[in-house]
């Protein structure tokens, strides 16, 4: 664009200096004299429009790269935190239920140790795809860090979120580990903690941290109970003795046994 414009100015300047041509600004010229300049103007406008589109694409690509996890294509932790703040603000405003699933890959270190990090990366990509294919369009899936993932479910209470947890467990069990490596049948598995936002700190960040912490505690309870299952965060809260179910009944209600 600049080279073309410069060449035109140089040509006009040469004509004025050495040929004695009178140069009249284009906005003072008649329509007949302006007509030969139309192709140049059209080219300049086209190049300018192309430059704007290219800049917009570069900016959009940079913004997308800043929000996405490079390995899995899911949102990264920073984007998850920003999205969570908005969902918590909606919960404060409208009172719609908001649930959180924290997901950790079982025995992931074993895959890395035996087959290398490239194999481990492929397992993470496969599990991320299973999460993405299991969630609804309104759910937000992210890689929280390492082999841990998180899904936020707006307009969803804790028990409704168990349907998503069950879908994830089934899809992940279909992922074969390298060389049949695994704790049992040679397939991947995950442990899941499910929690619903009920209240707590007054700040949005505090509420988000509280929700994640409750789901994270339920996740580690699922690990303790044998992995490849989910646990509800509500089962971790103290209850009145009269209302508390028997431990065996509670375990049956909150966990999904391995297939």
Q: Which residues are catalytic?
A: 147
Contact 148, 212 (CB under 8 A): no
Nearest C-alpha neighbor of 178 from the set 259, 117, 258, 104 = 117
Whole-angstrom CA distances from 87 to 80, 95, 183, 205, 234 are 10, 11, 37, 11, 20
Contact 122, 55 (CB under 8 A): no
**How far apart (Å, rounded) are the C-alpha atoms in residues 191 and 222?**
6
Contact 12, 4 (CB under 8 A): no
Strand partners, 232: 194
Region of 33 please: left (phi>0), alpha (psi -120 to 50) or beta. Answer: alpha
Task: Tell me, rounded to whole angstroms, the distance of Cα 131 from its chain centroid.
Answer: 11
Q: What is the torsional sign of CA 209, 211, 213, 215?
A: negative
Nearest C-alpha neighbor of 131 from the set 92, 172, 87, 162 = 172
């Amino acid at each position: 664009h600049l080279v073309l414009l410069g060449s035109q100015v140089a040509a006009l300047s040469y004509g004025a200096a050495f040929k004695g041509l009178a140069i009249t600004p284009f906005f003072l010229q008649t329509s007949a004299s302006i007509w030969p300049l139309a192709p140049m103007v059209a080219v300049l406008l086209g190049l300018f429009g192309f430059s704007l589109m290219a800049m917009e694409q570069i900016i959009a690509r940079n913004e997308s790269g800043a929000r996405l996890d490079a390995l899995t294509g899911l949102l990264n932790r920073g984007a998850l935190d920003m999205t969570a703040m908005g969902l918590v603000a909606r919960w404060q405003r409208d009172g719609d239920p908001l649930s959180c699933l924290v997901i950790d890959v079982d025995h992931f270190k074993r895959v890395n140790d035996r087959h290398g990090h490239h194999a481990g990366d492929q397992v993470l990509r496969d599990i991320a795809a299973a999460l993405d294919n299991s969630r609804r369009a309104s759910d937000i899936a992210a890689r929280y860090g390492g082999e841990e993932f998180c899904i936020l479910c707006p307009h969803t209470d804790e028990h409704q979120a168990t349907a998503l947890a069950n879908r994830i467990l089934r899809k992940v069990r279909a992922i074969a580990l390298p060389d049949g490596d695994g704790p049992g049948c040679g397939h991947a598995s995950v442990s899941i903690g499910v929690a619903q936002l009920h209240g707590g700190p007054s700040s949005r960040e505090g509420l988000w941290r509280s929700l994640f912490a409750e789901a994270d505690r339920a996740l580690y309870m699922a690990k303790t109970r044998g992995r490849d299952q989910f646990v509800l965060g509500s089962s971790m809260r103290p209850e009145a003795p009269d209302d508390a179910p028997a431990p065996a009944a509670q375990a049956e209600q909150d966990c999904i046994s391995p297939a």
